[in-house]
Amino acid sequence: MSGRLRHKVALVMGAGSSGPGWGNGKATSVLFAREGAKVVAVDRNLAAAEETAEIIRLEGGDAVAVACDATREAEIVAAVETARSRFGRIDILDNNIGIAEVGGVVEVAEAEWDRVFDVNLKSAYLAMKHVIPLMVAQGGGAIVNITSIAGLRYTGVPYCTYSATKAALGHLTRTTAAEYAARKVRVNAIAPGLMKTPMVEHTAGLAKAYGGGDIEAMWKKRDDQVPMGHMGDAWDVAYAAVYLVSDEAKYVTGVELVVDGGITLKYS
């Protein structure tokens, strides 16, 4: 266990994985702990959060799992209070909750539009709303919001709700960073590119959009889109998050760090 985050407490929203393997929130939680942080692993699925927390504990770290529907303010308040009462402070907030629904503006139903905005955007707003005052009171903190390159450019698949929410979260990151910079709360974002994670595998419609319903065909097509020749994984996001919340990034705020193997550099 290293020490880049020693003596820090991290609240990770979306710390479980949506399927077997390593999702961004799960990997980030474990890596935070390996770097010395105490972790509050929050997820709507308590079993998934507990799996992450147990990995941390088995490696000698300190973690607690919390069930939370992050679209409900009362449950966010309860999760924040659990972190505060258990560890006394919150130094790091990682907003890693997100879902994707395939479809453009013509195809997406209004109810799906509202649901994706609640999950992807409202959840981050609520978490920041209730964590930032604690960070200000204790003298500072660091927040990372997980956006996407889909919020920066068209990626070849129409999921207008995902793209719109991730673009909005990117700008919410910048405006909040500007507002709280003088109060020593840093707010940054990570924009992952095409990643090989359980969420991608289990998102309805993605495999059909990419590979006619064939998962392996989807993986190959996504690999081929990336200049480096392959997708990233959850650990690429986790290592970027460790940097942004560590004291090494003490002069960095309002940044949307692209982690995408070069795909946003392509002109087509």
Q: Which residues carry out catalysis?
A: 162
Q: Which residue do the tokens 């692209």 mark?
A: 258
Element at 173 (helix H, strand E): helix 160-180
Select from 80, 91, 77, 84 the least CA-distant residue to 186.
91
Q: Give the tokens for residue 187.
A: 């707010």
Q: Give the tokens for residue 139.
A: 């003298």
DSSP 8-state symbol, 245: H
Select from 245, 215, 216 the least CA-distant residue to 9.
245
Select from 103, 205, 190 the least CA-distant residue to 148.
190
Q: What three-state secondary structure class fits 63? A: strand
Helices and strands (H and E) in the chain: how many: 10, 7
The answer to whether the Cα torsion of 200, 203, 208, 213 is positive or negative is positive
